[in-house]
Amino acid sequence: MRNMGRVLARCVIWPLSMYAGTVMAQEAALPEVVLNSGDTAWMLTATALVLLMTIPGLALFYAGMVRSKNVLSVMMQCFAITALITVLWTVYGYSLAFDTTGMVEGTTNLNSFIGGFSKVFFAGVGRDSLVLAIPESVYATFQLTFAIITPALIVGAFAERMRFGALLAFITGWFTLSYLPIAHMVWAGPGGFLWDLGVIDFAGGTVVHINAGIAGLVACLMLGKRKGFPTTAMPPHNLTYTLIGASLLWVGWFGFNAGSAVAANGSAGMAMLVTQIATAAAALAWMFAEWIVHRKPSVLGVASGAVAGLVAITPASGSCGPGGALVIGAVAGVVCFFAATKLKRKFGYDDSLDVFGVHAVGGIVGAILTGVFASAAFGGAGLVEGVSVASQLGKQTIGVVVTIAYSALVSFVVLKVISFVTPLRASDEEESQGLDLALHNERGYSL
């Protein structure tokens, strides 16, 4: 065995020395990072759960909401994005997001905003590399599943009208220029711009949801409304898919939030509990809001409410308590209900599947409320010593604003540049025929 000496020291000498009251200076002063199989087993599972959220969770959720002639186009986009992001992650994504070279706590330099190239093609990531107590390979794959679902969320905003090639180009550009920097700023560690500011975002309220939601809004504005919107009827063609998709999202989200603890411990356990509570509260809140305002509760409503709750609890899941989760869920359910049903009609933009209404708005609600419910006074794990709720709210707001501004800017620029090379939008004829036949030469249903 390679580290016989160390194992001997750890298992025999060190404990003995503790009993003897004398401390072996070397062993006591340098705690070694060791693989924890419990943590690893959980993270392997969490990774699979989060991937399930995109394929087929999100794919089904969205597919059911579009018209039958476009059912494949949405699924194609989700599946293709999964494959595309995986390759980009391998080549440079993981490195640019999580490489910590040059990062110094409290110092703002280029590496506060983006990582270096030392992990390109997973260089240095071997079978024995560790991140915390799990293999780096698992950590990287786990983070990859987040990198996959974030751009996949955006496709709902411009569903039923975007050219496939332009979509792939947009996702590549946006992933590189918006997702990677924001993930780095929030999650890479001390020295990261938003990390140092003390922004609390456990599982991606800013990195994933606000980021994608804002990109969705910009994209749907730049692509324009679907032909016939809002006067032509475009009801969901199969809400059974949507509900199945929402269910997969709900269950998979345990991997998303509890997995963000990167350990099989109490933090993960509480993250799972608060996720369940907030989601349920939000589903009920949306359902009752709809019952009151529109006189009947609906399946689409209860599913959307659940997703809104999942989104909102995401940033808070590492620090809020059960009571906080109830509030966050209920608020998100009601606010997102109004955002999705009223805002679009009021301002006239065609955010087809309410990516902005649910993910951006829900993410903002959750990110802000995290500042309140992370504090011990409100049942949370407790804020950093010396930081008041008001101060934390300020930090959360900065995180939200930075994400909104940056995501909007990148989305606009990337789409603009692509539009000079190729049209973003399908032609009128392609849109009428349906993207499945027009862009993919396929039929979703041959009944």
Partner 1 sequence: MKMITAVIKPHKLEDVREALSDEGVTGITVSEVKGYGRQKGHTELYRGAEYSVEFLPKIRIEIAVTDDKVDGVMDAIARAASSGKIGDGKIFVTNLEKVMRIRTRELDADAL
Among 300, 327, 383, 418, binds partner 1 (CB under 8 A): 300
Minimum Å gap between C-beta 243 and partner 1 is: 13
Nearer to partner 1, 354 or 436 (CB): 354
298 binds partner 1, rule: CB under 8 A: yes
In the shown chain, the binding pattern of residues 266 to 295 toward partner 1, with x for contact by CB under 8 A and - for none, equals ----------------------------x-
Contacts 24+ apart (CB under 8 A), 129-136: 130/33, 130/34, 130/35, 131/262, 132/33, 132/39, 132/262, 132/263, 133/33, 133/34, 133/35, 133/36, 133/39, 133/40, 133/263, 134/35, 134/36, 134/39, 134/40, 134/43, 134/262, 134/263, 135/35, 135/40
Candidates 189, 190, 230, 322; binder of partner 1 (CB under 8 A) is: 230
Sign of torsion over alpha carbons 234, 240, 241, 245: positive
Answer yes or no whether residue 227 interacts with partner 1 by CB under 8 A. no
The whole-angstrom separation of Cα 107 and Cα 402 is 18
**Residue 236 or 259 having the CB closest to partner 1:** 236
Position 6 contacts partner 1 (CB under 8 A): no
Q: Element (H or E) spanning 439, and its range?
A: helix 435-440
Q: Does 31 bind partner 1 (CB under 8 A)?
A: no
Binding region for partner 1 (CB under 8 A) out of 97-105, 143-151, 299-307, 424-432: 299-307
Nearer to partner 1 by Cβ, of 71 and 182: the residue is: 71
Q: Is 332 in the site for partner 1 (CB under 8 A)?
A: no
- Residue with Cβ nearer partner 1 (159 or 183): 159
Q: Report how far residue 352's alpha carbon sits from residue 435's, in angstroms, rounded to the nearest whole number.
A: 15
Q: Which of 235, 348, 420, 441 binds partner 1 (CB under 8 A)?
A: 235
Tokens of 17: 């020395």
Size of the site for partner 1 (CB under 8 A): 17
Give every CB contact of residue 399 below 8 A, 6+ residues apart in sequence: 186, 194, 197, 199, 201, 206, 367
List of residues contacting partner 1 (CB under 8 A): 230, 233-236, 294, 296, 298, 300-301, 304, 340-342, 344-345, 354
